[in-house]
Every structure is written in structure tokens, then in C-alpha cells.
Structure 1
Amino acid sequence: MSAVAQEVTPQEITTTPLVEIRNARMEFPGVLALDGVSFDLRPGECHALVGENGAGKSTLAKCIIGENTLTSGELFVGGQRVPKHYDVRDSQALGIAVVHQEFQLMEEMTALENIYVGNYSKRGPFIDRRAQRARAAELLTYLGVDIHLDVPVKYLRTAEKQLVQLARALSQEALVIILDELTAVLPENDIENIFRIVELLKRDGKGIIYISHRLDEIFSVCDRYTVLMDGRHIRTGDVTELTKPKLVELIAGRELSQVYPTLNPPDDDVVLQVEGLTSDAFFDVDLEVRRGEVVGIAGLVGAGKSELLLAIFGDYKVKKGTIRVNGEAVSMTSPRKAIQHGLGLIPDERKRLGLNSALDVRKNATLPSMRKFKKWGVFMDDEAELRKSYDTLESLQLRYSNLWQPTTKLSGGNQQKIVIGKWLIADTEIFLMDEPTRGIDVGAKSEIYRLIAALTAEGKSVILVSPEIEELLGLSHRIYVLYEGRIRDSFEGDRLNQSEVMTSLLGAER
């Protein structure tokens, strides 16, 4: 049995921290990212690192793995102080690995090749492929998963890709594993499997730094927590001595007494009607949206939720069905047509699908509305474009330095505000929101919730897809459940409760 798979008894686990940072200070030009932060990770524990976007979590993690160099302060690994010029290769040699939310995989390579890329087992001058395969199979057995090692990872499910990344970390004999928003894109059953694996790693004396915006997970799997705010250390403590409202208050720096805002009742006017819409991902979908209404779409992974929004937006091929906007049948053959009819899409992957990383804040904000800022249909009215971008983004309380700043330098919550802001500039009436709060902190979530309430108060309408039932219940006037590509039921009024929705979501009969 390998060292990875050997269980370590509590008596064998040393009390020396696996990782310790003392008085860390990290400066970028014009930005103080960390200011006197101290942190330690003990053997056999899962330590939650939490805070709003921009609080310093990723910066601290990058210091631990050697991607960032501390301006001042000390870093210890296994009780030994590391030299100032410490890099990623050094951290790997010391047994530190990171598993990111965004896949760091070679899509065309097999699972086996991805596990060992850059870390090959050799027999003399040759790669020992037989040893690699045996070792990889042993790692997957340890993780309790069955993944075909010879399949290119582009064909694997999201959860399987995450597990390939985790197996790669373990193949490097990592003692410290940083899980950076690992569960953000996973369904509930796969998250439970991650929890099981975390407990397995803890039992074997490994330390896990757990970065997540899903606060419920912290109470499910973590032993201690550290809260950062604006690069400063706020508090470290035992999770057992904490409540969720208190953690929210620590993260946000204020008490969020009402997470979900009160919504005004919608009008009777139906602004969007879908009849018999069918594609290869969903079938005979009927739904309607009234003016000023938030309509939630609930469903398990693979139910066709995202594909349905894309089809309504003209970006997914449909086989049959009718879409009506304000009572008029329209042909949604492209996103351009949808925009012309007052629809806007906030996609689930904002970095890849919602923003153009080659453009600055201003150009991203006005991208769907370029025609509005042309003089005589030819020249750009730069002054009008700047004014509209500034006014809209200021109204959304965007935290940024200037309109020419790259969007890649902004936090997830602020990037999402730009994605929403561009549709406000485009005079959108119907917002199609696919997981708009994915990967953003509790404070930014609250701002997005208030924005949705403000939109509907102005008579705008929203279709909201979310994997979080609590979020759907807190924001929706009505919820449709999509089950295996078909609308199974709809809920409003007294039926709008967690028990009813979850029963339908899981395909159970009441």
C-alpha cells in the first residue's frame, strides 16, 4: 500500500503546523493586498479561508504555493522557514498542491496523462508507464471513484475532472492541499463525495485549506476558519463555536439582517411566453413570465436549464416551439435578434462567456450597445459612451479604478456587475440569469439580490437559474422545475416551499 493510502493514527500526527504564515504583507503597485496576516494549518484539519472577493484569500494562497513573494513576513512549511526566493516548484517539492475551480487540465490528453504531466515516474532514462498506471489506479481507488484513465479529459464530467486534478495533487505526495472553490460547479451529490474525500485526507494527517463562498459547506467539513477582510486578518476560530449569521457578519463587516429583499408583486401582463419549445436537451417546454416577475428554474445537473436559457436567447438550436415577446411570435435565430427584442443573457461562466478579457471595463459595458453610440451611423461618440458607462457602473456601485481597467483585475462580484450593467445600457427588459451568484462572496450576492429586486420594481423581468434552492425560494415569484428536460411542475403562492420544490426536483411522488 502506498504512503498516500496508509492511514495515520492520531498519535502519529505531529502538532507542528504543516504551514504557518506570520505577519504576511503583500504589496502590488498601488495596492496593499495583505496587511499583517497570520495563518496556520495543522495536520489532519480542514481550515476554511473565507472573505469577500478581494479580501486577500487568493493572494494568501498564492503566497503559500510560491506564486506570490511576500513583501514582508515569514512563511514556514513543516516548521522550517522557507527562503524569500521561494517559488511554485519549491512548494511542490515541500508537498503543497492546489486544486482550482477552473480546470488546469490538458483537454486533449487522457486522465492518466493529466495526472502525471510534468511529474513522470521514470525507470532509468525512460518513463515507467506501467508504474504510472498502477499508481493512478491506486489513487482513484483511494479516492473511491471510477474514472477511465485512457479517456481524454474533455469527455469527462465536471466532477470527474475535479477528481483528476485532486489525483494529480496526491500523485505529488502532497501533505497540504488547497481546494480553491472546488465545489462551485458541482451538483449536490458530487459535493458530498468531495466531503467524504476531505475526511479521508484529514484522517491520513493531511491538511486542507478550503476556500469557498458556500458557507454551508464550511459547517459541514471544516474544523477551523480564518476570515480576511481588505487584506487584514479578522478572526480565526473553531467552526463548532460559530453560527452562520455570525460568519456572514464577520465576512461582510456588517449584519445582513435581510439576505433576500422583498419583491413587489408582478403585473398581469405576460412579456415572455414559451410554448412547446424542444431541442436535443429539453422537450415541450411551456412557461410564461409576467412584467416585474422573477421566474426561477430549478433542476439537477443535466436537466437542460442552461440550454433552455440559451435557446430563448437564440444561441441554442431548437427543433420546434414558439417564443412570444409581448404577445408577438418572434424568431430567435440569433442573440442579435434576442437583443433586438429586449432580452439579455447573464451566462453561468462570466469570464469566458460574459466578458471579453481583451477589452477594458468601458468596452465590455457597451459591447451589446455599440450602435447606440454612433454618430451618423459611422463614428463612435466616445463622450456619450464614456458618460453612459460611468453613470451605469456607478449606479451599480462598481469597485474599480477607472473605465480603462482590464476586467481581469476585478473581483468576481464586480465582474458580474459589469455583465449585468451592459444589459442595462442595452435597455434590456427581460434578463436571463444563469447562476448569477456563482463564485461570489456573501456581500456581493446580497448586492446582486437587491439589484434583481430593483430591476423588477422598474417593471423588468427575470428568469433565474440557480442550483441553490434557498436562493430560488428567496428571490422568485414562481418556480418551474425542469426534470430530465421536461417541465415537471410549477410552484407559487403557498406551494412555494422547499419541501414541495425538492420533492419535484428529485423526481419523487408526493
Structure 2
Amino acid sequence: MVVEAKAVNVETLVEVKNCTMVFPGVKALDNVDFTLLAGECHGLVGENGAGKSTLSKCIIGDNRMTEGELYIQGNKIHIPSFNVRKSQEMGIAIVHQEFQLMGDLNGLENIFIGRYTKRGPLIDWKELQKEGEALLEYLQCDVDLKVKVKHLRTAEKQIIQLAKAMLDNPKVIIFDELTSVLQEDGIENIFRIIRLLKEKGIGIIYISHRLDEIFECCDRYTVLCDGKWINSGYVKDIDKPELIKMIIGRELKNVYPPKNEEFGETLLEVKNLTAHDGSFRDVSLSVRAGEVVGISGLLGAGKTELIHAIYGNYKTTSGDVFVRGKQVEIKSPQHAIKLGLGVIPDERRLLGLNMLFNIQDNTTLPSMFMFKKWKIFQNHRAEEKAAFDINDKLKLRYVSLSQLISKLSGGNQQKVVIAKWMLRNCDLFLLDEPTRGIDIGAKFEIYSLINELAKAGKGIVLVSPELEEIIGLSNKVYVMYEGKVMDTVEGDDINQEVIIQDLLGVKEA
């Protein structure tokens, strides 16, 4: 096993000593140590706001640590002059969770943007195509580099990002929540690439909230909590409950709260709904007050498109929608909001938040009419109090309500998306992968919140790629297969065996 070989004479690629990072009003990192060896995958784990991304930014020069020392391949770095360009020159690359790509350019253009090979005054596209194909061959992947990125599958976009990171033959690659947007087959491909890179002596820092992945692909781990180093060691020496306890400081029992079993009137009913592009067809479902309705399906089953169609943000050609028994034609998200619907989209940065706004403005945006003086002036004091109270209930980690939303960790951004619809007091919550990019402790808080909303008589539609979530939270599950509802399961039938058969299109006679 590679890990055990590392104990003897293996090069240290990155060493961080006593790293402290202070931002105005908050100490993001406090005396943290970290070491990455050649040919290993080192898992960096912790709750949202623990300091994982901050530490990675210190390593790539995006943050300049307030105190501490950084060594790259044994060379001490002069922190004041260290930046991203210098870290790239020293063989450090990063692949982000959020796509850093230009949708209207093709894969080849995205990989080489800013560093085109030229023949005289013209770009040598033939040479670039050769280099691009060589990169994909190195990664043992097949992606059409002539296709615009916006038309590529999510997994293919990640391969383009990874190929771009490989341009400078890096010795160190940071994977920052790389798999959070991928389905199972895409994740397995990333694991294969990690094994390939390790064999070539490349060190990988693997940041993830999915603890199963840490045990699948990592050799060593480091746990951070509230900006402090908690522990480091070999993954083979611990189990999942031990790791969870280190991350959240306690044992996590009964991850899923007891389901609410008291239902009221039918809040939402969909009959024979069909998308304009056929992504879903003849879909019928219903949601009662107090009920959590799960929608499960493989990639391309039409789950997200269905959610957006109900919300008035995806064109349909036929079918009917009823809200509280009244037939409605939801023409836009604004109309859906007025009818009491709120959506937590899968792409929170693109669809759920305004990244130029602060926390308060994002929280109160759909509810600003609630904070009027004499129906004319905005009551900023009441608005601030409401934003504070709802975010405090969700245990948001932040410096102040005027802090830009872009400065929060991914999990805390997701909490703000949920908070704004709670403040709006919606009757129906459409949750599309609400725990994406959220740590295990925060997931439990979200699960408890979903349970509280159900007990309060709210209707909830839950889309999740994690079968365990669907089973643990849902009173009823609609399983979609190739755009159609394959099966509806309730009660004791909500189990892994039944749902997996439906996901694969295998229905028992």
C-alpha cells in the first residue's frame, strides 16, 4: 500500500507551520500545521467555516497568511511576495468546486486560454489540438474538445478543468469539493484519475464533505475545526464514526429525525406535466401539508427540470398544476413566490443568491414588502432584525450581516438560501439537492429543519442524488426513469432495494 511506503524517505511537497490567518473581525486559521507528501492523497475535512478553503488559498497564494511558514518542496516561501502565479510556477494547481470555465468557448479554448501557441501572428490550433488530446490521453479521458463547454455534461466540464490544471505539469493538485456536482459514474472516474496521479508521484489535497470519499481515495487525513488543527493521521487507522466525532466534536446518532406522520390538505398537485424538450413527460405527483415528498432518479431523469417547471422557470407543453386545489398557470418565479412557493436550487451561486449582495440583502430579498413604514419607506431596522433572527436560527457562521455572501463557505451560503424562504414563510418548499457541499454536522441541522418545516404544516419536495437522504426523510418517493415516473413508493416500500430497481428501470411484475 502506498501509504505505508511513505514512512520511509518520501519527498515532502508542501509543509505549513503555525499558519494563522486573520481577516477583519475573525481569525479564520489559528496555528495550523499541515504536510503533503509526494504520491499521496491527503483528505482535508471539517465543518463549513472550519478553514479548509482558507488553508488551501494560503497554499496557492490567494491568501497571505498573517503568521506562519510555508515550504514548497523544501523551499521556504517569502509570504509577502507569494501569489497565485508564483504558486503555479512552483507546481501547485487547484480545481474548484464551482466551474471556472467560459461556456461560449469550446473545451480546447478553455484549456489554453491566455497561453495559446502561435505560429507567427496566428494561433496554431493544430498544435493546441495535439496538446489537448495529449492531456486527455494522460488522464485517460475522452471529451470532444471542439464542443462548446455549455453543451458538455457536468463530468466532462470537470475533466476540462482538470486538464487545464495539468498544463504546467503540477506536483501538487488541490481538489476543492470536486465531486459535489458529479453523479456516481463521474465520481468513480475522479477516483481513477486520483490513483493515476498518485502513481506519477503527484500529491493531492482532497477537500470534501463526503466522508465515504475520504475512506475511498485518501491515504491520510487532517481535521480542522473553527480554524484550529484537531488531528492528522492515516485513514486506515480510523473509522467513519471516529472521523465524524473529530469533525463536529460529538458523536452523531439518529442522523435522520423521526418523520412527521400528520398530514393536512393537498398543497400541490401536478397532473400529466410534460416539458417542451421532453426532459420529463406525463409526470403526476401530489404534496400534502406536513409531507416530505422525495424525487429520485439518475442523471438525466428530469428531476431538476421538473422542479423548475413547477416553479414557472421551465417551459411546459401540457399538463395541469393545482395549488391548494385551485388550478394555476405558473408563468414565472415571481408568480410562484406569490402563490407561496420557494425553491432551493442545485446551483446556489448561479440561481439561489446574488453574489454581489451581502448576507442581509440576500436573506430579505423576496420579503422586502414585509418591512415597509407607512407602505412607503423601507424599515431597515426591522429588516436587519429579521435577517439576524432567521440566520441565527440556522446557526449561520458570519462576521456581520453586511458581509458579502461570496465570502461565506459553500455550506453557509446554502443556509442563507434556505433562510430567505423561511423568512418569506412559504407554504411549499422545492428543495433541489439542499445538502450539496454541506458538511455532516450542517446536514443534520438541515435534516432537522426539514422535519420542523413538515411539523409546521409546510409541504416539501426533496430532490437528492443521495439515496440515503431520500429514504431517511421522505414520506413518499416518486422514482423517475428517463423523464417519466417509474414508480411511487410509500411506507415500508421506501427502501434501497425497491428504489434502486426503479432507478434502473427494472419494475417487478
Counterpart residue number, 2:52: 57
Distance (whole Å) between structure 2 residues aligned to residue 77 and residue 169 of structure 1: 18
Show the 5 A alignment for 1:80-229. Answer: 80-84=75-79, 85-121=81-117, 129-229=125-225
Distance (whole Å) between structure 2 residues aligned to residue 361 and residue 492 of structure 1: 39
Counterpart residue number, 1:306: 304
Bigger mean CA offset, 332-341 vs 58-67: 332-341
Question: Is the CA contact (8 Å cut-off) linking 2:26 and 2:399 kept in structure 1?
Answer: no
Counterpart residue number, 1:34: 29
Answer yes or no: is 1:356 the counterpart of 2:358. no
Distance (whole Å) between structure 1 residues aligned to residue 72 and residue 354 of structure 2: 39
Where 1:319 maps in the other structure, the secondary structure is strand
Answer yes or no: is 1:500 the counterpart of 2:495. no
CA deviation after TM superposition for structure 1 residue 465, in Å: 0.5
Closer, same or farther: CA 125–224 of 1 in aligned 2, 3 Å = farther
Counterpart residue number, 1:75: 70
After superposition, the C-alpha distances for 1:104-123 in whole angstroms (9 at most, x for unaligned) are 12222221222222334467
Distance (whole Å) between structure 1 residues aligned to residue 312 and residue 125 of structure 2: 47
Closer, same or farther: CA 211–328 of 1 in aligned 2, 3 Å = same
Distance (whole Å) between structure 2 residues aligned to residue 83 and residue 491 of structure 1: 60
CA deviation after TM superposition for structure 1 residue 336, in Å: 2.1
Distance (whole Å) between structure 1 residues aligned to residue 503 and residue 137 of structure 2: 31
Give the partner amino acid of 2:136: L
After superposition, the C-alpha distances for 1:289-324 in whole angstroms (9 at most, x for unaligned) are 111010011111111111111111111111111111
After superposition, the C-alpha distances for 1:442-462 in whole angstroms (9 at most, x for unaligned) are 111111111111111111111
Distance (whole Å) between structure 1 residues aligned to residue 204 and residue 41 of structure 2: 5
Stretches of structure 1 lacking an aligned partner (at least 5 in a row): 1-9
Counterpart residue number, 1:347: 345
Question: Is the CA contact (8 Å cut-off) linking 1:266 and 1:290 kept in structure 2?
Answer: no
Equivalent residue in structure 2 for 1:17, among 12, 31, 36: 12
Bigger mean CA offset, 277-286 vs 137-146: 137-146
Distance (whole Å) between structure 2 residues aligned to residue 205 and residue 508 of structure 1: 43
TM-score by length of 1: 0.94
Counterpart residue number, 1:275: 271
TM-score by length of 2: 0.94
Distance (whole Å) between structure 2 residues aligned to residue 120 and residue 339 of structure 1: 47
After superposition, the C-alpha distances for 1:370-398 in whole angstroms (9 at most, x for unaligned) are 22223444322334333333333333333
Counterpart residue number, 1:424: 422
Question: Is the CA contact (8 Å cut-off) linking 1:14 and 1:43 kept in structure 2?
Answer: no
Equivalent residue in structure 2 for 1:412, among 392, 410, 413: 410
Closer, same or farther: CA 34–388 of 1 in aligned 2, 3 Å = closer
Give the partner amino acid of 1:60: L
Bigger mean CA offset, 335-344 vs 42-51: 335-344
Distance (whole Å) between structure 2 residues aligned to residue 389 and residue 151 of structure 1: 44
Question: Is the CA contact (8 Å cut-off) linking 2:15 and 2:36 kept in structure 1?
Answer: yes
Counterpart residue number, 1:367: 365
Distance (whole Å) between structure 2 residues aligned to residue 129 and residue 381 of structure 1: 58
Where 2:12 maps in the other structure, the secondary structure is coil
CA deviation after TM superposition for structure 1 residue 128, in Å: 5.0
Identity, in percent, stands at 55
Distance (whole Å) between structure 1 residues aligned to residue 69 and residue 293 of structure 2: 51
Distance (whole Å) between structure 1 residues aligned to residue 182 and residue 386 of structure 2: 37
Closer, same or farther: CA 392–66 of 1 in aligned 2, 3 Å = closer
Bigger mean CA offset, 405-414 vs 121-130: 121-130
CA deviation after TM superposition for structure 1 residue 265, in Å: 0.4
Give the partner amino acid of 1:223: D
Counterpart residue number, 1:262: 258
Distance (whole Å) between structure 1 residues aligned to residue 197 and residue 9 of structure 2: 15
Distance (whole Å) between structure 1 residues aligned to residue 46 and residue 389 of structure 2: 28
Distance (whole Å) between structure 1 residues aligned to residue 379 and residue 319 of structure 2: 40
Distance (whole Å) between structure 2 residues aligned to residue 76 and residue 422 of structure 1: 43
Counterpart residue number, 1:247: 243
Distance (whole Å) between structure 1 residues aligned to residue 404 and residue 37 of structure 2: 38
CA deviation after TM superposition for structure 1 residue 407, in Å: 1.8
Bigger mean CA offset, 327-336 vs 394-403: 394-403
Bigger mean CA offset, 307-316 vs 122-131: 122-131
After superposition, the C-alpha distances for 1:321-360 in whole angstroms (9 at most, x for unaligned) are 1111222212211222222221111111122211122332
CA deviation after TM superposition for structure 1 residue 129, in Å: 4.2
CA deviation after TM superposition for structure 1 residue 126, in Å: 7.2
Bigger mean CA offset, 418-427 vs 165-174: 418-427
Bigger mean CA offset, 192-201 vs 361-370: 361-370
Counterpart residue number, 1:329: 327
Where 2:367 maps in the other structure, the secondary structure is helix
Where 2:178 maps in the other structure, the secondary structure is coil
Where 2:389 maps in the other structure, the secondary structure is helix
How many residues matched? Answer: 500
Stretches of structure 2 lacking an aligned partner (at least 5 in a row): none
Equivalent residue in structure 2 for 1:230, among 219, 222, 226: 226
Closer, same or farther: CA 82–344 of 1 in aligned 2, 3 Å = same
Answer yes or no: is 1:292 the counterpart of 2:287. no
Distance (whole Å) between structure 2 residues aligned to residue 25 and residue 469 of structure 1: 39
Show the 5 A alignment for 1:371-450. Answer: 371-450=369-448
Closer, same or farther: CA 80–383 of 1 in aligned 2, 3 Å = closer
CA deviation after TM superposition for structure 1 residue 429, in Å: 0.8
